[in-house]
């Protein structure tokens, strides 16, 4: 109940509400009563969206993720990333380095101040190929048995 000329009220739950307006003149002689129906819709949810660069390359692969989500009725309060390799982040625009080969599904969940969270998953979004071995690294023992690599020649050890 309010006696203000222009009252303000916030409805916290979606639904239909009956509002009654009663007006009485200063001398109390005339009065009129009007019923007004107020419809309150639920808060609109945000829409999760993101991009990344690069989305493919050699191991290790460092990727910059960019949140492109749109808020609903209220601001986005939190971000929850799952990079598909067992690691997560709560940063808005995280950088992640993949150290395993394969294809990875990336998911982003955005949580609003009020309303329902929104999740977007992109299957096989990041593709990591085997990297090139560093120059000068040779595993001859595994390939040739008992061979020793010298700076200027190769000799064979006798058992």
- Tell me: the pLDDT tens digits for 16-70? 777 777 777 777 766 566 777 777 777 789 999 999 999 999 999 999 999 999 9
Report the chain's terminal Cα–Cα distance, integer Å. Answer: 101
- CATH homologous superfamily for the domain 50-129: Immunoglobulins (2.60.40.10)
Residue 15 pLDDT more than 80?
A: no
E-strand ranges in 25-94 read 31-40, 50-53, 56-58, 61-67, 76-82, 88-89
Reading the block at residue 144, the tokens are 């040739």
pLDDT at 19: 77
Residue 155 pLDDT more than 60?
A: no
Residue 116 pLDDT more than 60?
A: yes
Give the full edge-to-edge strand order of the sheet including 56-58: 56-58, 118-129, 102-112, 76-82, 88-89
State mean pLDDT over 2-21.
77
Residue 156 pLDDT more than 60?
A: no
Write down the pTM of the prediction. Answer: 0.64
3-class DSSP assignment, residue 126: strand
Q: Where are the domains of the chain?
A: 50-129
**Nearest alpha carbon to residue 107 among 124, 131, 129:** 124
pLDDT at 10: 78
């Amino acid at each position: 109940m309010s006696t203000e000329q222009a009252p303000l009220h916030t409805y916290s739950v979606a639904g239909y509400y009956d509002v009654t307006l009663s007006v009485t003149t200063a001398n109390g002689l005339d009065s009129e009563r009007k019923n007004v129906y107020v419809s309150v819709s639920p808060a609109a949810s945000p829409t999760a969206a993101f991009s990344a660069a690069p989305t493919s390359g050699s191991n290790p692969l460092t990727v910059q993720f960019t949140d492109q989500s749109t808020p609903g009725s209220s601001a986005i309060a939190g971000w929850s990333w799952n990079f598909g390799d067992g690691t997560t982040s709560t940063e808005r625009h995280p950088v992640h380095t993949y150290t395993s080969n394969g294809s990875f599904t990336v998911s982003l969940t955005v949580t609003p101040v009020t309303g329902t969270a929104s999740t977007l998953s992109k299957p096989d979004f990041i593709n990591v190929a085997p990297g090139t071995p560093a120059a000068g690294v040779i595993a001859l023992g595994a390939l040739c048995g008992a061979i020793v690599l010298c700076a200027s020649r190769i000799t064979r050890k006798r058992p």
